[in-house]
Chain A
Amino acid sequence: MSGSPETATGTIYDIGYRGYDGARLGRRGAIGAIVGAGLRAVFGLGRSARSKILPWGAVVLAVVPAGVAVAIRVLAGDIIELYNYENYLWEIGALLPIFVAAQAPELVVNDMRHRVLPLYFSRPISRYDYVVSKLTALTLALLALTLLPVLILFAGRVLSAEDALGALGDEIGALPGIIGSGVLHAVVLASIGLAICAVAGRRAYAAGAVLAVFLIGSVMSGTFEAQGGALEGFAPFVNPLAILDGARQWLFGGTVAGSPVSGAGVALPIYGLAVAVILAVSWLVLAIRYRGVTT
């Protein structure tokens, strides 16, 4: 049998259909795959160079101030402090809506518009698994803007000190606030962004709607502040970024110059409540929208 010439030579056979007996990761594997693919989509990985420009540009612009602040500290010492852990996210605030407006539609609009969702739902996940996976992907992506730069600032301050270990001891107390506020910003912005995208039918509409919410909010907030009086108390609550800053102050402390929160004179827990309302509304919109998708 071993000596038969047919098996000895390198013949090519059509091996036909092969089954699959390997591992099946089920729902967990599915969620991991959707989160992974979502991150790739947000950052334009495996796509054209053009679709990488905006997300990576935003990440670079978000990180640059931290680099500058660290460089100044190394070169000139502790004379000026442009950016600290408290004000960093407020200062780069404009980048966040732009990133969400440009990249959140990538995650959900095509699946809805081209009716890909029935293919997802005919697999071992529920429609809520799908939404949570997409939210997770966008939240993780946003951490590149809301957490990474501040961590770089943190690392720079520790490493640039003469006594790095001593500096670590001084700075380490800020770490929970850095991480907490980064995650808070990421989760809230991702929820608002996806909720708007899920309702908008096309990518362009979705992007426009996200930008409009933040831009109009910011302009109205500025106007209210300038008016002063009773209106100033409402100024932070029409701008999601100001609400986030208020919630950050409530949880982790530290005021920010230029934020309408300081002038409003509203008790800080109210900002926490406002965040809870934003999340509840966003998630409700997502739940209703995706429950209505026919398979």
Chain B
Amino acid sequence: MPLISTRALTKRYPGGVTALDALSVDIDEGVIGLVGANGAGKSTLIKILLGLLPATEGGATVLDLDAATQGAAIRERVGYMPEHDCLPPDVSATEFVAHMARVSGLPRGAARERTADVLRHVGLYEERYRPIGGYSTGMKQRVKLAQALVHDPRLLFLDEPTNGLDPAGRDEMLDLIERIGRDFGITVVVASHLLGEIERVAGWLVAIDAGRLLRTAPLASFTERTGQLLVETEEEGESLAARLAGRGIEALADGRTVLVDLASGGGGEYEVYDAVRDEAVELGLAIVRIEHRRHRLEDLFRDGGADERVA
């Protein structure tokens, strides 16, 4: 049984905006990237899964609980880190996170113990006794993560967790997310419009666009090798492409790069390598680099018929 399962989930807001359009997807354990442009329906999906927003049509289960009718039970075992600022400035991180633990249903003693543990895990030490109002953005993001983690959820929803962070803070947050998924054994759903970040932490990807499922697959399959060899040369690649074509190998020159089809020519991959080498030598052409071309995550949105490009 998957941790999250949606069936033809549709959400239309009054006024005719369709945020989710018959979305059916199963999500299993691990670190899952929920990617899509701003307005693709990521936040709406999370709110429906938390039982905070009723679906217009279709349904969803989270941890085998029905999102429409068992929201409170879901929220007891799920953590949520919103995208926006959500911390009161006049209390300390310790006080706030312990309070949030108790609102999640933990008894007083357990709340205090877990607060200390979790703040240490997210990397807040001495400063945790000071009022949150004086924290940096990075520290605030850690408190937001800590409050989502303090009740030991089985599942964690993080909405744009690196928002507003500088590159160093972003790296630390991504490391933390990776650790939560790998070492803490908590399934993390990271909603983000930044593909580069998702690529770093997620093992599985759910791509949505305009409320529809674009694709769901292991991250590796999004970025796997294509059957093409990319050859970058120092001069125009036209001549190389022409000579390869003379050998029956499909090659396409584009400025100083030549894309070579590894399956063509009839002699197999190694024949193609040899041909590229031999022809380059005969032409006296300097080669800058040769690499297997990989799918890029961005291609997904470009080829998926999406009008909006994902940043």
Contact = CB atoms under 8 A, between A and B. Distances in A.
Interface of A: 16-20, 22-27, 29-30, 32-34, 37, 46, 110-111, 114-116, 118-126, 295
Contact of A23 (B53, B88, B107, B117): B107
B100 interface: yes
B184 A119 contact: no
Interface residues of B, number: 38
Contacts of B52: 121-122, 295
Contact of A123 (B84, B104, B185): B104
B307 to A, nearest CB: 27
B84 A115 contact: yes
B88 A111 contact: yes
Contacts of A22: 106-107, 110
A110 B90 CA distance: 9
8 contacts: A23-B107, A30-B103, A33-B99, A116-B87, A116-B88, A119-B86, A124-B104, A295-B82
Contact of B89 (A16, A20, A114, A126): A114
Nearest to B107: A23
B215 interface: no
B292 interface: no
B80 interface: yes
Given A16-B183, A122-B75, A34 B103 contact: yes
A37 B111 CA distance: 14
B121 interface: yes
Contacts of A33: 99, 102-103
Interface string B68-90: 00001101101110101111111
Nearest to A48: B90
Given A24-B76, A30-B102, A119 B82 contact: yes
Contacts of A125: 72, 103
A29 B82 contact: no
A25 B105 contact: yes
Contacts of B103: 30, 33-34, 120, 123, 125
B50 interface: yes
B86 A17 contact: no
Interface in B143-197: 147, 151-152, 183-185
Given A29-B107, A114-B85, 8 more contacts: A17-B183, A26-B72, A37-B102, A116-B86, A118-B80, A123-B76, A124-B75, A125-B103
Interface string B82-124: 1011111110000100011011111100100010010001000
B80 A124 contact: no
B243 interface: no
Nearest to A127: B52
Contacts of A124: 72-73, 75-76, 104-105
Given A22-B107, A114-B89, A123 B100 contact: yes
B294 interface: no
B295 interface: no
Contacts of A295: 47, 50, 52-53, 82
Given A16-B183, A30-B103, A37-B99, A118 B82 contact: yes
Given A23-B110, A121-B52, A29 B84 contact: no
A270 to B, nearest CB: 41
A37 to B, nearest CB: 6
B85 A24 contact: no
Contact of B75 (A29, A37, A111, A123): A123
Contacts of A119: 80, 82, 86, 100, 147
A24 B105 contact: yes
Nearest to A17: B184
A115 B76 contact: no
A18 B105 contact: no
A114 to B, nearest CB: 5
A20 B109 CA distance: 12
Contacts of B76: 24, 26, 123-124
A290 to B, nearest CB: 13
A233 to B, nearest CB: 46
A29 B106 contact: yes
Among B78, B95, B103, B114, the most chain A Cβ lie within 10 Å of the Cβ of B103
A235 B297 CA distance: 73
Q: Across chains A and B, which 7 residue pairs bring their CB atoms closest together, nearest first?
A: A33-B102, A20-B152, A122-B80, A17-B184, A124-B72, A124-B76, A29-B105
